Copies of this chain bind each other. A is one copy, B any other.
Amino acid sequence: MDISSTFDNMDTGLTQDRPVQMSSFYKEIEPVDGAGNHDVVNNVTIPASGASDPRAQNSLQQSWEMNFQEAAIYLQEGENNDKFFTHPRSAHALSAYLFAHSHLFYVVELLTAVLLMLLSLSEAPAVPFLRLDVYVHATLELLALVMVAFELCMKLRWLGFHTFIRHKRTMVKTSVLFIQFIEAIVVLVRQTSHLRVTRALRPIFLVDCRYCGAVRRNLRQIFQSLPPFIDILLLLLFFMVIFAILGFCLFSANTADHYFSTLENSIVSLFVLLTTANFPDVMMPAYSKNRWSCIFFIVYLSIELYFIMNLLLAVVFDTFNGVEKMKFKSLLLHKRSAIEHAFQLLVSRQRPDGVSLKQFDGLMRFYHPRMTPRDRFLTFKALNHSGAPMLSLQDFYKFYEVIGLKWKARRSGEHWFDDLPRTALLIFKGINLLVKSKAFQYAMYLVVAVNGIWILVETNMLNDGISWTRVVPWSYIIFLTIYGIEVLLKITGLGPITYFSSGWNLFDFSVTVFAFLGLIALAFDMEPFYFIVVLRPLQLLRLFKIKQRYRNVLDTMFELFPRMASLGLTLIIFYYSFAIVGMEFFADVIYPNCCDNSTVAASYRQINVTTGNRTELQEGYYYLNNFNNILSSFVTLFELTVVNNWYITMEGVTSQTTHWSRLYFMTFYIVTMVVMTIIVAFILDAFVFRMNYSRKNREPLDDPEDEKGIVFETEVSQTEALQTLDFYKHTLGVTNLTSLQDMCVALERSGTSLVFLGRRSRTKSDLSMKMYEEEIQEWYEEYSRTNLQTDGTFHRELDSPDAGATNSIN
């Protein structure tokens, strides 16, 4: 790379070059200005080139700044997968856009949504110790709703009325807001809560939050998987009805058999049987009459449970597979399109096919304001693959791969203690070799295994389970000392940075620290912290490091964790809606001895039975599974999710209300079945993807190379560094240049040049890039073909970058 020419170009570019395309924000900033020379590019008036008056110069500078900002916004939209039709169109929209995309705004948005959802803890039927008066919670709700309304106004200002009403999600939010507003006012006026099923819609505010993008994606995926799911569900229900008719014909003659006494009972029994929850009870009356009747149930379960239910999983898995790939494709192409938009805003009229460092730096000041000049320079160099003085569009396509890198000079030495005096060096070197040796590792595994057996034996011997927490067992202290020494040795031997950069070491460290806390709790007799003691067995998890497969599995587990959490949150949103509906209809219908006229009376019983002279409480406990407040509802819904014995809750509620209540429970079952199937499909997909990936690339995923993640290398020479420093100082006029100065100092010390390493952790997207390598090329070709054929909805001149460039050159 001819570095001097780079800076030459930049220098001339700074004063002479005008942007090929003007930012859409520009025209409002610079109102129509009669004076001066203007020529029209893209219907926007800009000062003509060669104009030497300072106003024109200033205006040119300002127009570049606008372009940088808009390019940064395009790149942000590409990263966040925001559609371009929500791109701000004017300077007013820009300020609203910037406001609505600040972290403060996001946090307020999230807090408002969470507050609204949490209100149901205090609204009747409330959790006892959180009950609030009606006027308090209604006022809080109104405040929160006003907040939401304000957020919507900002969005309206940013999007413009026309785009606003075209944006479906926002429209739904607006109408829900409207209804809730009216209802909150009604509640405040009447001073009492009416039947407010609409509260079940509150999660919409949460889902719309910027920080809940993952939940939105999950919901979209669920809806995309729905059509095939529903098809198979119909097949399932069809067989259920056929068997219900058959069962009714066969077994209704048996008066002892209430499961098939009517067609409705027959259908309900078979629906519950689908979840296996009433098996084998549902079979027993018929079976005791005629032993061959078991064939009916075996055939039913074989077809429904073992075949069609698995088919359901297969269909969802298959759809899921396709959807994941399509999602990746559309995201990739969206990013590519964003990069093209940004590129077009960054090139100058003189050199319409390249982005110089000056322009790149300008972009980064908006895109990543916290990035130091050194990192901006290094990122530019990393992008610049061809060595030409400017970034071509091909270089710029790699923008998203490079932008997250953390830059660091490559260290000359291997270990943290290389700079210490000789004696210390030898000691630390010894420790380093020790902790890296196989023998040390296996000795530790042995200790952990012995510890595990010890805990098991110890616990088994303490069968009264009360007194043992009072004394500190000596074995605990011994094992803990060993673990403590191990942690210390490893930290000193490897250096804290290397040590803590491994997930497994972090795990070891935190478990050991927790165990120490437990010891302190034991020593000082702090009752509430006893539970920490029982976390000790978690040390045993380390044993699973021994085997490759476990490392794979546990690594996948950690990788899956964020996605699992978002799926969990999605489930909670469904729970919330169902809990609200449940509370509105079934609050306080369940209580001890409530359901004596139902078939599940025994489970709700709470009576004192006197046998001889001893009075004993006979507990059915199921009255605890109620909808009396939102916390109880959540627990009840979790029990319904697990589906075992869920019909007891269903029948209990049904016996206290109407037959239609069953609809609620059955709907809930089907909804959770969908979500659960998606979760299973997701785990299957993630795991199989990982396995295929490591098979395709013939490399285990956990080799040390891989732990580094993605690494980019860039070599910087001393002259280059000084030139850059000079360029930043004089041409750009940046004042805070410590990072660049540090680099120059380091270069002086090390000699002629220094290699910088940019690292980031590997993401699913990187894996997908490698997996679909061949297809990606096809997608790109297809994408550029369609772009040449059709025009986009707006920024038409941009969709084909080459065409745009030629236009502006003429």
Are A250 and B624 also in contact (CB < 8 A) when A235-B544, A550-B235, A683-B307 are?
no
Are A280 and B644 also in contact (CB < 8 A) when A250-B531, A547-B231, A684-B310 are?
yes
**B-facing mask of A690-718, CB < 8 A → 1, else 0?**
01000000000000000000000000000
**B-facing mask of A442-460, CB < 8 A → 1, else 0?**
0000000000000110011
B691 touches A318 (CB 8 A): yes
Interface of chain A, helix or strand or loop or mixed?
helix
B256 touches A306 (CB 8 A): no
Instruction: Report the minimal beta-carbon distance from A677 to chain B, rounded to whole angstroms.
Output: 11
Q: CB within 8 Å of B: which of A268-317?
A: 276-281, 284-285, 287-288, 291, 294, 298, 301, 305-307, 310-311, 313-315, 317
Instruction: Report the minimal beta-carbon distance from A723 to chain B, rounded to whole angstroms.
Output: 52
Are A550 and B231 also in contact (CB < 8 A) when A245-B455, A459-B245, A537-B242 are?
yes
B537 touches A279 (CB 8 A): no
Q: CB within 8 Å of B: which of A147-182?
A: none
Which of A14-22, A387-395, A631-639, A742-750 is found at the contact surface with chain B?
A: A631-639
Q: CB within 8 Å of B: which of A473-519?
A: none
Cα(A557)–Cα(B533), bound, Å: 53
B679 touches A306 (CB 8 A): yes
A537 touches B280 (CB 8 A): no
Are A624 and B287 also in contact (CB < 8 A) when A314-B683, A315-B687, A635-B294 are?
yes
Are A679 and B463 also in contact (CB < 8 A) when A280-B639, A288-B621, A619-B288 are?
no
Set of chain B residues within 8 Å of A256, measured between Cβ atoms: 619
Whether a CB of chain B sits under 8 angstroms from the CB of A645 is yes
Whether a CB of chain B sits under 8 angstroms from the CB of A586 is no
How many residues does chain A have at the interface if contact means C-beta atoms less than 8 Å apart?
91
Whether a CB of chain B sits under 8 angstroms from the CB of A3 is no
- Name which residue of chain B comes closest to A301, CB basis: B642
Are A284 and B621 also in contact (CB < 8 A) when A250-B534, A317-B688 are?
yes
Instruction: Report the minimal beta-carbon distance from A126 to chain B, rounded to whole angstroms.
Output: 15
Instruction: Report the minimal beta-carbon distance from A617 to chain B, rounded to whole angstroms.
Output: 8
Whether a CB of chain B sits under 8 angstroms from the CB of A673 is no
Are A242 and B538 also in contact (CB < 8 A) when A553-B235, A687-B315 are?
yes
Cα(A422)–Cα(B323), bound, Å: 57
Cα(A368)–Cα(B549), bound, Å: 49
Whether a CB of chain B sits under 8 angstroms from the CB of A187 is no
Set of chain B residues within 8 Å of A276, measured between Cβ atoms: 642-644
B311 touches A683 (CB 8 A): yes
Set of chain B residues within 8 Å of A280, measured between Cβ atoms: 625, 639, 642, 644-645
Cα(A680)–Cα(B310), bound, Å: 6
Whether a CB of chain B sits under 8 angstroms from the CB of A252 is yes
Set of chain B residues within 8 Å of A557, measured between Cβ atoms: 307, 311
Whether a CB of chain B sits under 8 angstroms from the CB of A779 is no
Cα(A283)–Cα(B549), bound, Å: 33
Set of chain B residues within 8 Å of A459, measured between Cβ atoms: 245, 248-249, 263
Q: CB within 8 Å of B: which of A36-84?
A: none
- Name which residue of chain B comes closest to A284, CB basis: B621
The residue among A256, A281, A642 with the most chain B CB atoms within 10 A of its own CB is A642
Chain A residues near B (Cβ < 8 Å): 228, 231-232, 235, 238, 241-242, 245-246, 248-250, 252-253, 256, 261-264, 276-281, 284-285, 287-288, 291, 294, 298, 301, 305-307, 310-311, 313-315, 317-318, 321, 455-456, 459-460, 463-466, 469, 530-531, 533-535, 537-538, 540-541, 544, 547, 549-550, 553, 557, 564, 602, 619, 621-622, 624-625, 631, 635, 638-639, 642-645, 676, 679-680, 683-684, 687-688, 691
Question: Known contacts A238-B544, A256-B619; can you find 16 more A-B pairs with CB under 8 A?
Answer: A231-B550, A238-B541, A241-B537, A242-B537, A245-B534, A249-B459, A249-B465, A278-B644, A280-B642, A285-B619, A307-B557, A310-B683, A311-B557, A314-B684, A318-B688, A602-B602
Pairs across A and B, CB under 8 Å, 23 listed? A231-B549, A235-B544, A242-B540, A245-B456, A245-B459, A248-B465, A250-B531, A252-B464, A252-B466, A262-B463, A263-B456, A263-B459, A277-B644, A278-B644, A287-B624, A291-B631, A307-B557, A310-B684, A311-B687, A313-B680, A313-B684, A315-B549, A315-B553
